[in-house]
């Protein structure tokens, strides 16, 4: 049996899929590149991504202005290896064999960019830790 694992798949879930889960997915995509399959969804998705979140991410060089919130589906959970919830509570379906994490983070909804920045920075740090747990980076430091 090979120890090589297919590309891990991570699903970020929050209620509106307009803030925290969008930032987390963008950071994981940006930092993980092709090593990780990234999804995000919401149990009650908003119409658009929070403009303060878009602005806060632009400040760190990540453009999420074209992203749109998506509805959480059972299939998205089923096809993910790691499911990270961010305040969706028990609306997220649970399947055996998945790794579930719940990141308690402030909700950027209705907040200005000043309030979003510390949330963004905490998400980036958590994503960096997650990426390290998922496997070696192409440029590991000794």
DSSP string, 41-107: EESS--SS--HHHHHHHHHTT---TT----B--HHHHHT-SEEEESS-GGGS---TT-EEEE-----
Q: Is 77 a catalytic residue?
A: no
Residue tagged active-site, from 10, 15, 77, 88: 88
Residues 6 or more apart whose Cβ sits within 8 Å of residue 18: 42, 45, 46, 48, 49, 50, 53, 69, 109
Residue tagged active-site, from 25, 38, 77, 92: 92
Residue tagged active-site, from 13, 14, 127, 134: 14
Q: Is 88 a catalytic residue?
A: yes
Q: Is 114 a catalytic residue?
A: no
Q: Residue 11 in 3-state DSSP?
A: strand
For the annotated catalytic residues, the residue numbers are 14, 88, 92
């Amino acid at each position: 049996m090979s120890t090589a694992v297919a590309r891990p798949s991570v699903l970020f879930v929050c209620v509106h899929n307009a803030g925290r889960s969008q930032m987390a997915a963008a950071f994981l995509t940006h930092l993980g590149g092709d090593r990780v399959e990234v999804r995000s969804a919401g149990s009650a998705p908003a119409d658009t991504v929070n403009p303060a979140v878009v602005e806060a991410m632009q400040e760190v060089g990540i453009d999420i202005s074209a992203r749109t919130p998506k509805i959480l589906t059972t299939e998205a959970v089923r096809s993910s290896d790691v499911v990270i919830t961010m305040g969706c509570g028990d609306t997220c379906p649970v399947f055996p064999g998945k790794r579930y994490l719940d990141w308690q983070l402030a909700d950027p909804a209705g907040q200005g960019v000043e309030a979003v920045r510390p949330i963004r920075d905490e998400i980036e740090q958590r994503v960096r830790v997650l990426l390290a747990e998922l496997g070696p980076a192409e440029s590991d430091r000794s």
